Structure 1
């Protein structure tokens, strides 16, 4: 069975949803390891998209969606491939992490553009599934709105699954940022690695209308130099204890800085029970390495492989590339865990 290249999950801006288990027992007992089943559902989706359903949805959508869909051209191919991240780092992984995922990559090839979707879960989440159902709780889509709604309707009709938007709270964005930084900081030369991979960091703070009706958001920008400064342990500890014992001091130092210099007493990581601190939240994290949006947007960036020499500089760049890929996969794992129905943890 032809497997998808797991690197197709990177360098794409995804909209994320949560899926309840997929029920396929009426058609097949297994899904991920069943080439016949994947081809069957790919054919059904192709027929679904080339029929009258999408035309009916187009008639009820806005001009922007109509314009986007009108430029795609005819649907040339619909492919469903099994996907696994287990071997994406090759045999030269900096560490022996178990980064296995199970999932399906859906590719819609139109004449003028290619759209993608991915249904993902950690391998452990699908190991004990009952026959006839598969749990792939994280859905990533790169579709225009009308096409996305059609695809979601297809999943619901064919797998009796419930689809809901996956929102990422401020506490999760903090934990996700810390998770990524911790992965980069675990190797020698951590400061240089963080600067080269993350570069500048932008944190978007959002405010409740009741306290700031004219201020929807505020961007806090950290340059490379400032980011390195906020990652040092030398800053005074904040007055409160963070809910999670995170190794990276970034959020704690930033919280202390905002309170000391801007008189903003905020609770970014969700550790406080004080209602007065709930009016300011972290709604987006943007850097050169990834984007996490509280409204349900994810992008993981990995630089393209380059032909390198044997000198130490090239080897160092290669090591940073692999470490960034590893950190991105760990961040994706945390999003997949968040998507598990009923999971209320931040990671």
Structure 2
């Protein structure tokens, strides 16, 4: 069966949702690697979107006069459900493997005349697929709100699943920073300087958004902090004077906020519950490489295209540049961390 590349998840802004297991035992024994099942649900969703429910949404938005973007999509041309190939496609340099690799999930594509919308149901490292249900704990959507509501209702009606926005608390945003930067951090190899230069190139600047409790800042909802490239790279490479030296980046960020804003958020110590952390919290982190927020917003940016050199170029094959390799590894690591966060049994935090 044809598969879609998980690379389609990159360079796109998503809204993340937590999804309970999908129950399909009444119709199919399996969902993944089952073309008949995927085609059936694609056809059923297409019929629903071109029926009265979709028409009613479209007419309602147009009549409201405030948001006619949905009415400008044109007719629905196609609705497809495709298997996503393995994450190894992005992180493994070996293009051919004799070892079967698990699917990354399912990609849903809605192609209209003027725009293409997508959603992805993603699996974790040990996806549970039985004859009655399949666990795809993370749902990513790039859909306008009315269409998102219709799609979620479709999933609920067909799979008896429950969907909710995936909230990402400060502790997770801090761990996400470390997860993304780990592939670039010096490890004592000869490539350390090159990796750090690549990190500086892809991240560019680091932007933090702090949110405040209304009880202490009724007229200040958030504060944006921009950290220049040189300062950010100093955080990565400098050893902090802290009892948590293993969290150099977070420790240096905490010291920076404490020194310049008098806010002791202790980003490197998630278990700490200081007075400041009760009223001020990190709610968004963004850069040239990624963006992630507490309300489930997510975007991963990776340079497009491959670089072919030497024998590879002569043979017509393409070899990824080192910049692309590291960016892909970091992006996949961060996305898998979000998937684990969405997996049942993991607390969403506050």
Name the counterpart of 1:234: 239
Provide the residue aligned with 1:104 in structure 2: 106
CA contact (8 A) 2:205 2:227 kept: yes
Per the alignment, residue 131 of structure 2 pairs with 131
1:125 aligned counterpart, secondary structure: coil
- For residues 137-159 of structure 1, give each alpha carbon's deviation from its aligned partner in whole angstroms, at most 9, with x where no partner exists: 00000001110000000000000
Which residue matches 2:192?
Answer: 188
Query: Which position in structure 1 is the counterpart of 2:164?
Result: 164
Q: Give the drift of 1:60.
A: 5.3
The 2-side partners of 1:92 and 1:33 are apart by 22
Structure 2 distance, partners of 1:277, 1:202, is 19
Count of aligned residue pairs for this structure pair: 331
- 1:264 and 1:133 mapped to 2: Cα distance? 47
2:155 partner SS: helix
Q: Is the 8 A contact 2:263 2:276 kept in 1?
A: no
Return the offset for 1:77. 0.4
- The answer for the alignment partner of 1:143 in structure 2 is 143
Structure 1 length as normaliser, TM-score?
0.88
1:148-185 residue CA offsets vs partner (Å, 9 max, x unmatched) = 00000000000000011101111111100111111221
For normalisation by structure 2, the TM-score amounts to: 0.87
Q: Deviations over 1:286-321 (max 9, x none)?
A: 11111101111100111111444459xxx9981121
Identify which range, 276-285 or 326-335, moves more after superposition. Answer: 276-285
Distance 1:142 1:115 in 2: 6
| 2:264 pairs with 1:261 | no
> Equivalents in 2 of 1:64, 1:29: separation in Å?
45
Q: Once structures 1 and 2 are overlaid, which stretch shifts more, 8-17 or 272-281?
A: 272-281
Q: Could you tell me whether the CA contact under 8 Å between 1:57 and 1:150 is conserved in 2?
A: no
In the other structure, the counterpart of 1:320 is 323
Which stretches in structure 2 are left out of the alignment for 5+ residues? 312-317
1:337 alignment counterpart: 340
Asked if the contact 2:307/2:319 (under 8 Å) is kept, the reply is: no
Q: Is the 8 A contact 1:267 1:278 kept in 2?
A: no
Contact 1:204 1:220 (C-alpha < 8 Å) held by counterparts: yes
Q: For residues 65 and 340 of structure 1, what CA distance do their matches in structure 2 show? A: 37
Q: Secondary structure at the match of 2:211?
A: strand
Corresponding position of 1:197: 202
Partner of 1:107: helix, strand, or coil?
strand
Say whether the 8 Å CA contact 1:168–1:293 is kept in structure 2. yes
Asked whether the equivalents of residues 205 and 280 of structure 1 are also in contact (C-alpha less than 8 Å), the reply is: yes
Residues 184, 110 of structure 1: alpha-carbon distance in 2 compared, 3 angstrom cutoff: same
- The answer as to whether partners of 1:58 and 1:65 remain within 8 angstroms in 2 is no
Residues 65, 144 of structure 1: 8 Å contact kept? no
Q: How far 1:251 sits from its partner (Å)?
A: 1.4
**Partner in structure 2 of residue 113 of structure 1:** 115
